[in-house]
Amino acid sequence: MNIDAFAPVPDALEEFVAGVHRGSRQAYTEYRGDSDLRALVAERLATFTGRSVSSTNELIVTPGTQGALFLALAATVQAGDRVAIVRPDYFANRKVVEFLGGVVVPVSMDYLSRTDETGLDLGQLEEAFKSGARTFLFSNPNNPTGVVYGPEEIARIADLATQYGATVIVDQLYARLVYSGQLYTHMRASSIDASQVVTIMGPSKTESLSGYRLGVACGPAQIIDRMEKLQAIVSLRAPGYSQSVLRTWFAEPDGWLQERIAKHEALRDTLLQLFRAVPGVVVRTPQAGSYVFPRLPQLRIPLHSFVHAVRVQAGATVTVGTEFSPDATESVRLNFSQNHDRAVAAVTRMIQLIDRYAM
């Protein structure tokens, strides 16, 4: 999220300052976060996700969604454990598993040949569970493609997790930025047992609050307890004063979120038109979030060099596809959460570079 183009939620700073004035109580919260704020957020997340959340047992506030992801994996994965991970998916998923000494079991997603569901290979997911994986981690909407898991996909993941006794960790960082007409199905509201699902969210992206480093995880008491013990040795707690800013979350002014979604959607549509006019470019329509993941035509230069050229000559930061999947050797991820005209200009220059370097 470019916060200069998309301003933070109103009142965020005021809530922070109020937190500073509360003194010790706000600076030294419980490691899992201030109890009043957890009560507030638990209720809002229950409404949003469609399943109750106990603020005392089932919720932890973390330093950003990244902190929640690290702790959720560290609380469930031991060295040698097999962990099912989608290809493509957020690059840190793989890196955290590797840091913990876990073994990544890839599950592929054929997102380019679908328009409704994500195209997750459920057969491969079952094979992963059969091979011993007891944790499945995925982002929904998917990062980098912006595709959203369909209700049948979520139901099938729930069935498989139930059958094999696996824990599902779902990163829903962009779950509030869902485009018009698109259904969103919450994993934790599926038939899965509450003891088997951890949901990660945070106000860093859609709400432009990244500078405050806030994330949350909700899940079974046993995993949240372990996450809190780990948080005590990793960073103690999410920044105390920042936690106050959670008061603004899911409580934005009327129409605020809708306007933010509409602006992103208009930009998404313009960029898709631009990309689809380029011979050899194939791109799936993002259903949520602010990433687009076009597959480029074959280039005369290595993808890394192209990405460098885009940064220097088009002033746009894109990420090579292989960060998300070793197979995505011809794709790049672009974050289009920017000023509309500037984003269009950057993509126009990027397309000129595609034309220049296409074989």
Q: Which residues bind a copy of itself (CB under 8 A)?
A: 2-4, 8, 13, 16-17, 19-20, 23-24, 26-28, 62-64, 66-67, 70, 74, 79, 92, 95-96, 99, 101, 210-213, 230, 232-242
For residue 337, what are its two tokens?
Answer: 């959460």
Which residues contact residue 329 at a Cβ distance below 8 angstroms, ignoring those fewer than 6 apart? 303, 321, 322
Q: Which is nearer to a copy of itself, 99 or 256 (CB)?
A: 99
Strand order in the sheet with 291-292: 291-292, 332-335, 318-320
State how beta strands 82-87 and 103-108 pair: parallel
**Min separation Cβ 74 and a copy of itself, Å:** 8
State how far the Cα of 29 lies from the Cα of 296, in Å rounded to an integer.
Answer: 48
Q: Which is nearer to a copy of itself, 27 or 40 (CB)?
A: 27
State how far the Cα of 50 lies from the Cα of 329, in Å rounded to an integer.
Answer: 38
State how beta strands 197-201 and 167-171 pair: parallel
Residue among 161, 96, 152 at smallest CA distance from 128: 161
**Min separation Cβ 348 and a copy of itself, Å:** 22
Q: Which is nearer to a copy of itself, 67 or 106 (CB)?
A: 67
State how far the Cα of 67 lies from the Cα of 201, in Å rounded to an integer.
Answer: 11
Residue among 194, 189, 124 at smallest CA distance from 160: 124
**Min separation Cβ 152 and a copy of itself, Å:** 32
Q: Which is nearer to a copy of itself, 244 or 325 (CB)?
A: 244
Q: Which is nearer to a copy of itself, 101 or 253 (CB)?
A: 101
Q: Which is nearer to a copy of itself, 4 or 254 (CB)?
A: 4
Cβ neighbourhood burial of 122 (10 Å; 0-12, 13-18, 19+): middle
Which residues contact residue 319 at a Cβ distance below 8 angstroms, ignoring those fewer than 6 apart? 91, 144, 307, 332, 333
For residue 149, what are its two tokens?
Answer: 């898991």
**Min separation Cβ 18 and a copy of itself, Å:** 11
Q: Which is nearer to a copy of itself, 210 or 285 (CB)?
A: 210
**Min separation Cβ 260 and a copy of itself, Å:** 16
Q: Which is nearer to a copy of itself, 22 or 356 (CB)?
A: 22
Q: DSSP letter string over 1-23?
A: --TTTSPPPTTHHHHHHHHHHHT
Q: Which is nearer to a copy of itself, 97 or 125 (CB)?
A: 97
Q: DSSP letter string over 152-196?
A: HHHHHHHHHHHHHT-EEEEE-TTTT-B-TT-----GGGSSS-GGG
